[in-house]
Chains A and B, each alone.
Chain A
Amino acid sequence: MNATEPRARVTRPGRRRAGLAGTSVAAGLGALASALAVGGWTLSATVFGGLDTSYPVAPTLAAGAAIGALLAHWRGERDSPVLAVLAVALGVAGAWLGWSGGRPLGGIAVRPWWGVASALVSMALAAHLTRYGLRGMALSRLGRVELETLLLRIVRAAGFTFFSVIVVFPFYFMVASSLKSRAEMLQRPTFLGVDLRQRLADLLVGYREVLTTFHFGRFILNSTLVAVVTVAITLVLAILGAYAVTRLRFRGRELLSRSILLIYMFPAIVLVVPLYSVFTQLGLRDTLPGLLIVYPATTLPVALYMLRSYFRTLPSDLEEAGLIDGCSRLGVIWRVTLPLSLPALASVGLYVFMIAWNEFLFAFMFLDSPAIFTLSRGMVSLNSQEVPRQFLMAGAVIVTVPIMILFFWFERYLVAGLTAGGVKG
């Protein structure tokens, strides 16, 4: 599992038999590789192709074991050449095709070439995975290190598959189901391919409805306004505060800078009941200014903390030079400190933007008038029996896409911000 693989052992040239142990290990690896390859292929055929396939476990494992054993037999101590791997895959695929009568994946093969393609692709994949799993390994001498390395390679492959699926699949599902009507989803819930033959207007009906009938266009503006103003307020206050904490001497400074993050541990739900009461009586509930008081308060502590950590890394000589030259403190902050800390400001700003954009609880509790809904609050109003799920998912895509674009655009800054601050979760 570690980054460094064991160094390839120096082996004598020439072929040495893999032996019974080596062959069985390779066969086991092949079986697992085949299970992964066939599983991935069947799953994508079902989900993206809408095809009626099944997952024949025993033949899959048998074919994989055959591949593993054959590769072990021929490879000796060296990695098999790619062409040999493909030949083995071709042979096993042919055998499987013949044995299953042209339907290796069971079910109803739509066309004969489909069965052939399935067997070839999945077996080639399985064979290649097996080869990759055995790379640089001496099968004739399997010790603890080799076995563990092999085990870790298997775990890694499983891990990559697992994480890719759990991370990508829900988001793919979000997009795909925003393009499908309720009838389509009920009829074939396993099919998530997008039928591109229909008219674009029909495909995007969910988005059109959500943006017009359900006023998401306005909610986007509201969310943007709220997030941008929150970022501005937070940055201004956090810059002043962080500068004071790092550069100025005053009593209680240590205590203060240590207790900043403690604020972070306060549950939002505990704040909601009294804030709801007080804001209702003050007439601040159901107003955007009300929200704009709460949001900076929840982001300020961590923004201050992050900026403080950054300011500490800046040399204070430049600032002192500025002070001696007759600049005021604010002038020094504006002319010297801020230009030096642009990357940190970007990190903090993006991070605060993300929190404000994603915020749900306070928007949900405070906002009643659709005219000032943020996107999160607007989503709640979509979540009802009368509104098709398709629209809800279109709304989800609309909420998610801006933050994702921002994230990928500025990933470097955002990751820096996340790690520096330890985002409130």
Chain B
Amino acid sequence: MKRARKTTLAAREARLAFWMLAPTFLIVFAIVLFPVAANLWISVKPVTLADLRPPRPVVRLRVLQPATIEGEQLVLRYQMRNSSQSVQVTQVALFDVLPAGLIPVDLDPRCAFVAPRLRCDLGTWQGGERQNLDLRFLATAGFVRADAREPWGEHTAIRGRAPNVLTNLRFTLANFRTVLAGAEFLPALWVTLAYTLFGTIGSILLGLFAAQLLNAPFAGKGLLRGLFLFPYVAPVIAVAFTWAFLLDPLSGTVNALGVRFGLLGQAVAFLSQRSLEVHLLGLRVAVPLALSTVIAFEAWRYFPFAFLFILARFQAIPRDMYEAAQVDGASPLQQFWFITLPQLVGILSTLFLLRFIWTFNKFDDVFLLTGGAAGTKTLTVQVYDQAFALADLGAGAAVAVTLFVILAAFMVVYFRYAPEGAA
């Protein structure tokens, strides 16, 4: 008896939990998991942006010959066409509701008129097909529409059936062939890796440095901590445009200052120049300029993230470890190297994982800064370019699937070989 009661309680609890979690599940499934699956589906289908509006017949009604009084003949012309140039539409049917008092004259055999309703079955239309349908009516005593400018066609409708490219069962690997064999793919992969790796390392190093600076009590520390978070909290669109303006070769302050104080020989287009030759110790090195700028932006914008976490970790390192080290005569650098860094390994590798994945997934920043020009086209920007700029949804989805597979591979490798305590 007691046992049975217990199970029902447990079952009730589980049911309650189910209902409390159901909305979250639903929304996450609909907006996150379903799209990932749908992406796979789209990537093996020849879908373009135009296909999203399914082909359908469209109609316009013109009054060729108006009737004003009894006994006159009214001629209506239905101008119809298939909205798609390539896909056929089947079972096209035209519907209309006409004013009272009209009698059809030589009604088209495809049409049926049961006053006041008109219905015409127009069969199958090829892509781009146009048809005009002229219908003649005799106005009788009951015809009330005397004014020819009365709006005609407010009840006119046309319907047809068209295959939805998204839901049919035709598959192709053409998207992957185009994308993977395309000249853009490999460069985009390398750019993505460089952007991700250096952006991640840069933001973590800056964050570590900033956290070191603020890891001591002093007046104004709280204010500085707030300031340091600015790049991260501000909307990406505002800071990206600010950087673009700041680095502008014509009116940008950074270029002007650089030239003014002799750091730059001439104004440099930081965001639109692919590479810059730098003379270093007698060597000529070509620096990928726009990519470096984008990486610098990444490091700048996300260092506060690393900063916050590392600072929090610092506060947790016991103070007496340093005191003991000082008694033993350890120098400050030794203290950092042998006490601080080992304590940070866990948080640093977690940060590396998180930032690596998020930078790899990042789209907004590069897109807003350069639009993927000048050697900064990452895979995410390529998804956008293929799917929306080139209007080839299928190819875009194929890039997205590739991106996702690479990401998953990284994660598997990371979780297998990550140091202890990470993630």
Contacts and interface: CB of A to CB of B under 8 A. Distances in A.
A contacts with B: majority SS: helix
A267 B403 contact: yes
Interface string B213-224: 101110000101
Interface in A54-90: 54-55
Contact of B336 (A1, A42, A182): A1
Contact of B31 (A174, A294, A361): A294
5 contacts: A174-B242, A269-B361, A297-B27, A404-B230, A411-B226
Contacts of A55: 261-262
Residue among A170, A185, A395 facing the most chain B CB atoms (10 A cut-off):
A170
A244 B336 contact: no
B335 interface: yes
Contacts of A361: 363-364
B238 A425 contact: no
A2 B335 contact: yes
B253 interface: yes
Contacts of B243: 170
A163 B13 CA distance: 52
B152 interface: no
A423 interface: yes
B299 to A, nearest CB: 10
A189 interface: yes
B282 interface: no
A173 B241 CA distance: 11
Nearest to A380: B237
B235 A269 contact: no
Contacts of B397: 273-274
Interface stretch (A128-136, A209-217, A235-243, A338-346): A235-243
A268 B326 contact: no
Given A270-B35, A415-B229, A422-B309, A383 B42 contact: no
B306 to A, nearest CB: 10
A315 to B, nearest CB: 19
Nearest to B255: A189
B185 interface: no
B396 interface: yes
Interface in B63-102: none
A103 B238 CA distance: 40
Given A272-B384, A418-B229, 15 more contacts: A2-B332, A4-B323, A164-B227, A170-B243, A171-B230, A240-B21, A250-B13, A266-B361, A267-B403, A278-B38, A281-B54, A296-B27, A358-B234, A399-B237, A419-B309
Interface stretch (B133-141, B244-252, B283-291): B244-252
Interface string B332-345: 11011000100000
Contacts of A300: 24, 27-28
Contact of B235 (A400, A411, A419): A400
Given A1-B332, A241-B24, A269 B400 contact: yes
Nearest to A329: B16
B174 to A, nearest CB: 16
Nearest to A176: B253
A274 B228 contact: no
B418 interface: no
A360 B17 contact: no
Contacts of A7: 326
B237 A379 contact: yes
B398 to A, nearest CB: 10
B322 A4 contact: yes
A301 B21 CA distance: 12
B238 A360 contact: no
A407 B227 contact: no
A380 B236 CA distance: 12
B312 interface: yes
Given A270-B39, A280-B52, A297-B31, A425 B302 contact: yes
A185 B363 contact: no
A237 B335 CA distance: 47
Contacts of B393: 273, 276-277
A275 B333 CA distance: 52
A166 interface: yes
Nearest to A240: B20
B238 A174 contact: yes
A185 B251 contact: yes
Interface of A: 1-4, 6-7, 42-43, 46-47, 54-55, 144-145, 148-149, 151-152, 156, 159-160, 163-164, 166-168, 170-171, 173-174, 177, 182, 185-186, 189-190, 192, 237-238, 240-241, 243-245, 248-251, 253, 256, 263, 265-278, 280-281, 293-294, 296-298, 300-301, 304, 329, 354, 357-358, 360-361, 365, 375-376, 379-380, 383, 389, 392-393, 395-397, 399-400, 403-404, 407-408, 411, 414-415, 418-419, 422-425
A241 B42 contact: no
B167 to A, nearest CB: 10
Interface of B: 10, 13-14, 16-18, 20-21, 23-24, 27-28, 30-32, 34-36, 38-39, 41-42, 47, 52-54, 164, 166, 209-210, 212-213, 215-217, 222, 224-239, 241-243, 245-246, 250-253, 255-257, 260-262, 300, 302, 305, 308-309, 312, 319, 322-323, 326, 329, 331-333, 335-336, 340, 354-355, 357-364, 368, 380, 383-384, 387-388, 393, 396-397, 400-401, 403-404, 407, 411
A167 B23 contact: no
Contacts of A182: 251
B311 to A, nearest CB: 9
Contact of B20 (A47, A248, A296): A248
A247 to B, nearest CB: 9
A357 B407 contact: no
Given A240-B20, A358-B235, A273 B52 contact: no
Q: Tell me the dominant secondary structure on chain B's binding face.
A: helix
A267 B38 contact: no
B35 A248 contact: no
Contacts of B27: 237, 293, 296-297, 300
A277 B400 contact: no
A393 B245 contact: yes
Contact of B253 (A145, A189, A329, A415): A189
A385 to B, nearest CB: 13
B407 A267 contact: yes
Contacts of B229: 407, 415, 418
Nearest to A239: B20
Nearest to B305: A425
A392 B245 CA distance: 10
Contacts of A408: 226
8 cross-chain pairs, A with B, having the tightest CB-CB distances, nearest first? A297-B31, A267-B361, A274-B38, A189-B256, A396-B238, A250-B14, A248-B17, A244-B20
Contact of A148 (B41, B234, B331): B331
Nearest to B239: A170
Given A2-B336, A266-B36, A361-B364, A237 B13 contact: no
A166 B300 contact: yes
A83 B210 CA distance: 33
Contacts of A301: 28
Nearest to B167: A281
A192 B326 contact: no
Given A379-B237, A379-B238, A393-B245, A271 B31 contact: yes
Nearest to B350: A422
A298 to B, nearest CB: 7
Given A177-B245, A277-B47, A419 B13 contact: no
B24 A148 contact: no
A238 B28 CA distance: 12
A265 B32 CA distance: 11
Contact of A270 (B30, B260, B300, B383): B383
